[in-house]
Amino acid sequence: MTDFSEALETALLLMVNLDAGLVEIIALSLKVSLTAVAVAALIGLPLGALLAVSRFPTRRFWINLLNTFMGLPPVVVGLMVYLLLSRAGPLGPLGLLYTPTAMVIAQTLLILPIIAALVCGLVQGLFDEYHEQLRSLGSRTLATARTLLWEGRFGLVTAILAGFGRGSAEVGAVLIVGGNINHSTRVITTTIALETSKGNLALALALGLILILVSLLVASAAQWLHTATVRRSRQ
């Protein structure tokens, strides 16, 4: 209980005082996670929709693979990205290891299957309802995928938020490829891990509360956008 009350007090103090170090960490966390979500959405939305509306022999296998990758262990992804970006790795010359870009890559790999699989399920449901009508209007696979993505636009918010949730709460992969370097690659989750290992539980808990608050703010903003769009489209 003492830890919790201390954590609340510390969190409030950090936020009220707009602690520069904390602001920097939150800003980097948001920057990394939102960029990763944007990249994953850019790839995952069309990928999921195309898998839902296409018919080819190995389709079921790819959907199963996508569903399996939804639960990819972050440390394994972190390790793979580390091997790719390390000096001896194929992308070593790019010098990306221990940079925010490396963290974005790792998070994108974790988020992409989540967004693609959720979109695939969503579009598949719409496809069952719409495909005869769309075919009768002469729609081909690509146009059908685009049409159904637009039809399911309100449900896509959930898929994207799920991706953001995965990215912002992730610690293993970003710790491996980012290195938790102060003023460079330190994000909320890695700071929590660091402070916990130092025994500074109150500060770690405070950062945890702030992380939840940040996630809540992003989810609320997305929900508000979603509601406003639905209302506007129904007018």
Nearer to other proteins, 17 or 136 (CB): 136
Cα–Cα distances in angstroms (integers) from residue 126 to residues 62, 80, 123, 189, 214, in the given order:
19, 36, 5, 37, 32
Residue 151 binds other proteins, judged by CB under 8 A: yes
CB of 160 to other proteins, least distance (A): 18
Of 127, 117, 125, 124, the closest CA to residue 64 belongs to 117
Q: For the chain, how big is the Rg over CA atoms in Å?
A: 20
Query: Cβ(104)–Cβ(31) under 8 Å?
Result: no
Residue 235 binds other proteins, judged by CB under 8 A: yes
Quote the CA–CA distance of 193 and 160 in Å, as a whole number: 26
CB of 146 to other proteins, least distance (A): 10
Window of 52-60, 133-141, 173-181, 183-191 that interacts with other proteins by CB under 8 A = 133-141
Residue 33 binds other proteins, judged by CB under 8 A: no
Buried b (16+ CB within 10 A) or exposed e, 35-50: bbbebbbeebbbbbbb
Window of 26-34, 82-90, 112-120, 127-135 that interacts with other proteins by CB under 8 A = 127-135
Quote the CA–CA distance of 45 and 38 in Å, as a whole number: 10
Quote the CA–CA distance of 46 and 124 in Å, as a whole number: 13
End-to-end CA distance of the chain: 51
Contact code string over 75-114 relative to other proteins, x by CB under 8 A? ----------------------------------------
Residue 137 binds other proteins, judged by CB under 8 A: yes
Count of beta carbons in the 10 Å neighbourhood of residue 76:
13
Nearer to other proteins, 36 or 126 (CB): 126
CB of 85 to other proteins, least distance (A): 43
Window of 71-79, 82-90, 124-132, 202-210 that interacts with other proteins by CB under 8 A = 124-132
Total interface residues for other proteins by CB under 8 A = 16
CB of 228 to other proteins, least distance (A): 15
Positions that interact with other proteins (CB under 8 A): 129-130, 132-139, 143, 147, 151, 233-235
